[in-house]
């Protein structure tokens, strides 16, 4: 069945360093969404990418969707302690109904 | 309502008992989803409703799990003969339609003892 692989599983950074998480699928995706979950909280929607090669920015966050629509990345520039949490990609296969979540990348930021 | 509301927030039940978990989505959202999340894992898809009908229930683990959305708004996830392995946070989410980002509720933490 459809699977979404996300790496790394976790990352420790010093405040001010950059951070990137990657999401890969073996099948072509209809769209990809990114969510952030703070410790003890629930996932919060960040963004959705739909077009091949799409790049979107939200302040220090940059989201990319691969040309083949099989991979995506989230890059955070100059991390802050408020960026702490787990970042999930979630993808829907072309023609499918359900959205499958990756296992997430947990980000730790040291002040 | 302003957000997705899930009740109860916590539920402790004995093995073998029946439980119902309720989700009240954002008003006007036609799409509703149930996921469950174990510690350290990503949300696991259970079922997707478009309106009153279950468009995809392929994630329900077995026939002990059932969900309804009779009027196209509130949904109830029902678990029969609970097992300790059912313990998890059950998350409900809604969206305006299936092509939009999801708004999650705070979840119901189910513990089967």
**A19-25 and A71-76: which strand pairing?**
antiparallel
Q: CB-based contacts of A80: which residues, under 8 Å, 6+ apart?
A: A15, A60, A109
Inter-chain residue contact A43 with B33, CB threshold 8 Å: no
Mutation target for A interface from B23, B32, B42, B104: give the one with most A CBs within 10 A.
B42
The pLDDT score that the predictor gives to residue A96 is 78
Share of chain A above pLDDT 90, in %: 90
Task: Give how far B86 is from chain A: nearest CA, Å.
Answer: 19
Tokens, residue B6: 């899930």
Burial A21-32 (b: 16+ CB within 10 A, else e): bbbbbebebbbb
Residue listed under structure tokens 């998350």? B91
Name every residue whose Cβ is closer than 8 Å to that of residue A34 and which is 6 or more positions away in sequence.
Answer: A45, A46, A47, A48, A63, A72, A74, A87, A88, A89, A90
In CATH, the architecture of A4-110 is Sandwich (2.60)
Does the distance separating the beta carbons of A88 and B42 come in below 8 Å?
yes
Q: What is the pLDDT of residue B60?
A: 97
Q: Is B84 helix (H, G, I), strand (E, B) or coil?
A: helix
pLDDT tops 80 at residue B98: no
CA distance B33 to chain A (A): 9
Cβ neighbourhood burial of A77 (10 Å; 0-12, 13-18, 19+): middle
Is A98 within 8 Å of chain B by CB? Answer: yes
B57 in contact with A, Cβ within 8 Å: no
User: A66-76, pLDDT tens digit by residue?
Assistant: 999 999 999 99
List pLDDT tens digits, range A92-105: 887 778 899 999 99
Asked whether residue B111 is assigned to any structural domain, the reply reads no
- Each domain of chain A, given as residue ranges in start order, spans 4-110
Query: Is B112 a domain residue?
Result: no
Instruction: Specify the residue for token string 């705070």.
Output: B106
CATH at B13: 2.60.40.10
Phi-psi region of B107 (alpha: psi -120 to 50; beta: other; left: phi over 0): left
CA angle, corner A41, sides to A82 and A70, nearest 5? Answer: 80
pLDDT in tens, B17-26: 999 999 999 9
Over 90: is that where the pLDDT of A2 sits?
no
Nearest to A98 among B45, B99, B100 (CB): B45
Mean pLDDT along residues A6-25: 98
pLDDT band at B1 (very low <50, low <70, confident <90, very high): low
Whether B107 is covered by a domain: the verdict is: no
- What is the pLDDT confidence band of residue A91, given thresholds at 50, 70 and 90? very high
Domain enclosing residue B11, as ranges: 5-100
Q: Read off the DSSP letter of residue A4.
A: E
DSSP B39-82: TTS--EEEEEEETTEEEE-TT--STTEEEE-TTSS-EEEEE-S-
Instruction: Name the closest residue on chain A to residue B95, using Cα atoms.
Output: A45
Residue B11 inside a domain? The answer is yes
């Amino acid at each position: 069945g459809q699977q979404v692989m996300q790496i790394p599983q976790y990352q420790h950074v010093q405040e001010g360093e950059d951070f990137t998480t990657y999401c890969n699928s073996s099948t072509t995706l209809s769209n990809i969404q990114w969510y952030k979950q703070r410790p003890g909280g629930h996932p919060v929607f960040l963004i959705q990418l739909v077009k091949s090669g799409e790049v979107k920015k939200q302040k220090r966050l940059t989201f990319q969707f691969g040309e083949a629509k099989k991979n995506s990345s989230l890059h955070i520039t100059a991390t802050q302690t408020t960026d702490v949490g787990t970042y999930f990609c979630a993808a829907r296969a072309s023609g499918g109904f359900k959205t499958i979540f990756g296992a997430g990348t947990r980000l730790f930021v040291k002040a | 309502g302003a957000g997705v509301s899930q009740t109860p927030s916590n539920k402790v039940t004995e093995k073998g008992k029946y439980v119902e978990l309720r989700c009240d989505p954002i008003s006007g959202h036609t799409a509703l989803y149930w996921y469950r999340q174990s510690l350290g894992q990503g949300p696991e898809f259970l079922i997707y409703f478009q309106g009153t009908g279950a468009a995809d229930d392929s994630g329900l683990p077995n026939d002990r799990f059932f969900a309804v959305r009779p009027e196209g708004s509130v949904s109830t996830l029902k678990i029969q003969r609970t097992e300790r392995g059912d313990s998890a946070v059950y998350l409900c989410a809604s969206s305006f339609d299936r092509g939009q980002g999801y708004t999650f509720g705070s979840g119901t933490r189910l513990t089967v003892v």
